[in-house]
Amino acid sequence: MKKILLITLIFILQSIPSFGNSIDGKGLVCKQIELEGVKKDSYEGFLFGDETFREFSFDRSNDEVRLKRRTTTDYYHTNKDQIWWRNDTHIEYVDRKTLNLIQRFYSDGREIHTHRCMVYENRQLFMKELHRIRHFKQKIYNESLRDNKI
């Protein structure tokens, strides 16, 4: 009898849809690609959880590169091909196979491939990568100050 219950339980568990592809708790770090011949060293980060996400970027203030978290209550949406969210002027979406970040503008429907992304499996790895990038950007900026007199 116990074997029958165990086998039944196994079949029931296998028939439940898998949640292994959920993006909750995962992060994307996206580097801007070359646009119209101009190379950029711009990064954005997106941390997903409970149908909302947090957006991270970098800025500089008084010779210090800072990691900036945009306070947002934005919601993301998923389907089998994309993860997407809305902005004031456009929709941003990530192709789940290529990890390209694309902007689609409301005004004319134009699409621009702006960033290439990398997936980080958890918040700790995601934040570690953002801090590594911040340190790298700070080092480059400090080198640009080297010949300054003041």
Hey, what are 86's tokens?
């809305």
Q: Which pLDDT tens digit goes with each residue over 81-107? A: 999 988 888 899 999 999 999 989 999
Q: Which pLDDT tens digit goes with each residue over 26-63? A: 999 999 987 666 666 789 999 998 778 899 999 999 99
Residues 22 and 127: their CA atoms lie apart, in Å, by 19
Q: What is the chain's mean pLDDT, rounded? A: 83
Is 25:127 a contact under the CB 8 Å cutoff?
no
Q: Which pLDDT tens digit goes with each residue over 124-139? A: 999 999 999 999 999 9
**Where exactly are the structural domains of the chain?**
23-144
Is 115:92 a contact under the CB 8 Å cutoff?
no
Nearest one of 111, 107, 43 to 82, comparing CA atoms? 111
How many Cα neighbours within 13 Å face the side chain of 14? Answer: 6
Alpha helix locations (H) across 16-148?
A: 123-144
